Structure formats: C-alpha cells, structure tokens
Amino acid sequence: MTWQAQVLTLYPDMFPGPLGHAIAGKALRDEKWSLETANIRDFATDKHGSVDDTPAGGGAGMVLRADIIASAIDNAVKKAVENAPLIYLTPRGKLFDQMEAKRLASLDGAIFICGRFEGVDERVLKARQVEELSVGDYVLSGGEMAAMTVMDAVVRLLPGVVGSAKTLDEESFERGLLEYPHYTRPQIWEGMEIPEVLVSGNHKKIAEWRLDEAKNVTRTRRDDMWQKYLATNPQLSEKDKK
Ligand SMILES: C[S@@+](CC[C@H](N)C(=O)[O-])C[C@H]1O[C@@H](n2cnc3c(N)ncnc32)[C@H](O)[C@@H]1O
C-alpha cells in the first residue's frame, strides 16, 4: 500500500525538495509513498489569481481566504484515501512528536495545508474539521518546510523504508528516552577512545551500557521526558531515580 501525501501550497515547486533525496527519496521512487502537490492559486476565482485579503479588524499582513482554501481542500479530498486527515501546519497547532508521526504512518495518507502570510481564515479550519500541527515553538515564513518535516518523520516509519526495523526500535523517543551516544572507528581519535565496553563483544553488557547512557542523557537534557519515564516505569532502581 502506498502512503498518499497531498500538499496544498502556493509554492508547489518546493516539492519534493529534500524529500526527493536519501531515505525519503528512495521510498518515493519505490512507491512506498506518493506525493502530489496542488497550487492554491489554481483555485482563485478572479483574473488576478488572488488568494488572500486584508485581516478583518485591521492589522498587519494578509490572510488566506476561506473560500479559496475550501475549494483546494475539497478537490484534494475527492482524490484522497478514505482515512486521510486534513492537517494545517501552524505554530498554534498541537506540537508534532514521534507519537503523532506513528499515528499518521498507521493511516493511508494525509492532506497537508501550508499557510503563508498571517495564516488561514479560521472558518475554513472549523468547517472542514482540519487538525492543526506545529513543528515547534518558533515562526516559519510558510508551512512548506513544516509539512516536509512531518512527512519525513512519517515516511521513515512506513514498512520497509528504513532497512532494519531494529534501527527504529532504539531511536530517540521510542522507549520514552533519548538515544545513547554512537561511536565508530578509528578506535582512538584526538586522544579519545571508544568506550571499552563497546569493543568488548559482550552484547548483554553493551545493551546495559546503552540503556544507562540513554537514561543519563535524557535525565540531564530533558527533564520533561525523564519525569514521564519515571512515572511510567515504577520498577526502576533507586540509582536510576536519583
Ligand atoms: C508567518 S507564518 C504565520 C504565523 C501566524 N501569524 C502566527 O503568529 O501564528 C505563515 C505560515 O507558516 C506556517 N508556520 C509557521 N511557523 C510554523 C510552525 N512552527 N509549525 C508549523 N507551521 C508553521 C503556517 O502554515 C503559517 O500559516
């Protein structure tokens, strides 16, 4: 089954962009997923191709019109797989995370709406039951790179896209922890050695070391994740809880 992405944007030429390279690009060529863009401007109704207007109530910038966005959405929905959610990328949305990437990967596709200017008229979001996702607490100039970020995170979770499913199992966020540090040859670099346990060949010890390091890095860098990990793993030793 091909995971079907549709993107509504004023800049269709930006796609596939980075998604045409490396893992996502190979998956696209292998038809593990498909990508279709629609130019929002094609849904304009006047001869100037206007898609935006001044904000009601005054103020800076322009707002994408509800009627234009609705036409673009309705056209995309006609072609979409049945359970494809409508997703508007916006700093006001729910923060995108690995759980959300998994949810989207478990569906058959999604329709992404990329905002520009001050954003989209609120009424269309309500009328078409659009979900809102943010890629972080900062403001981008458009939704395109946010949509690409979401798609990249989703595509690598699709079956057969990343070579070994084991690679995904131990990645950051998978167990509620950030990932342990990695090393590779040369054995000694600028006087620093690869930790001895990693060259010991003792797989049980290596797994224990990696889990300890994952706990350490999470505890020191992400207290929010660490507190959640503690709460969901009550069997942890006193040493871990410190
Ligand atoms: C300049 S921004 C508009 C910001 C909006 N006026 C606000 O303050 O929330 C233009 C578009 O970029 C996209 N965008 C900006 N930051 C984003 C973020 N953190 N996550 C997802 N999309 C974002 C949205 O599609 C938005 O409509």
- For ligand 1, atom 9, the nearest C-alpha belongs to 91
Contacts of 193 (CB under 8 A, 6+ apart): 187
CATH number of the domain that residue 120 is part of: 3.40.1280.10
- For ligand 1, atom 2, the nearest C-alpha belongs to 141
- Asked if residue 127 and residue 25 are part of one domain, the reply reads yes
Cα 80 to averaged position of ligand 1 atoms, centre (Å): 25
pLDDT at residue 174, as a whole number: 84
Answer yes or no: is 53 within a domain. yes
204: its two tokens: 């049980």
Cα 144 to averaged position of ligand 1 atoms, centre (Å): 10
pLDDT at residue 242, as a whole number: 67
What residues pair up with 192 in beta bridges, in sequence order? Answer: 189
Cα(102)–Cα(99) distance, integer angstroms: 5
Determine the residue of 89, 148, 149 to mutate for testing ligand 1's pocket, defined as the one with the most ligand atoms within 8 A of the Cβ atom. Answer: 89
- Asked if residue 144 and residue 56 are part of one domain, the reply reads yes
**Domain end among 155, 188, 209:** 155
Answer yes or no: is 23 within a domain. yes
- Asked if residue 175 and residue 119 are part of one domain, the reply reads no
- Asked if residue 130 and residue 201 are part of one domain, the reply reads no
Cα 164 to averaged position of ligand 1 atoms, centre (Å): 35
Cα 147 to averaged position of ligand 1 atoms, centre (Å): 11
- Asked if residue 40 and residue 16 are part of one domain, the reply reads yes
- Peptide bond preceding 186 in cis form (omega within 30 of 0): yes
Residue 117: what residue type? F
- How far apart are the two ends of the chain, measured CA to CA in Å? 47
Answer yes or no: is 160 within a domain. no
Cα(105)–Cα(14) distance, integer angstroms: 23
Query: pLDDT per residue over 159-206, tens digit each?
Result: 999 987 777 887 889 899 999 999 999 999 999 999 999 999 999 999
Q: Give, for 230, the enclosing helix (H) or strand (E).
A: helix 223-232
Show the domain range for 98.
Answer: 3-155
**Domain end among 111, 127, 155:** 155
**Domain end among 131, 155, 179:** 155
Whole-structure pTM value: 0.96
Q: Per the structure, how many domains does the chain have?
A: 2
Q: Is 40 in the pocket of ligand 1 (CB under 6 A)?
A: no
Cα(224)–Cα(203) distance, integer angstroms: 30
- Asked if residue 229 and residue 146 are part of one domain, the reply reads no
Answer yes or no: is 165 within a domain. no
pLDDT at residue 186, as a whole number: 97
Query: pLDDT per residue over 133-142, tens digit each?
Result: 999 999 999 9
User: Comparing 15 with 238, which gets the higher pLDDT?
Assistant: 15
- In angstroms, the Cα distances linking 117 to 21, 43, 90, 141, 154 are 28, 17, 11, 7, 26
Cα 214 to averaged position of ligand 1 atoms, centre (Å): 33
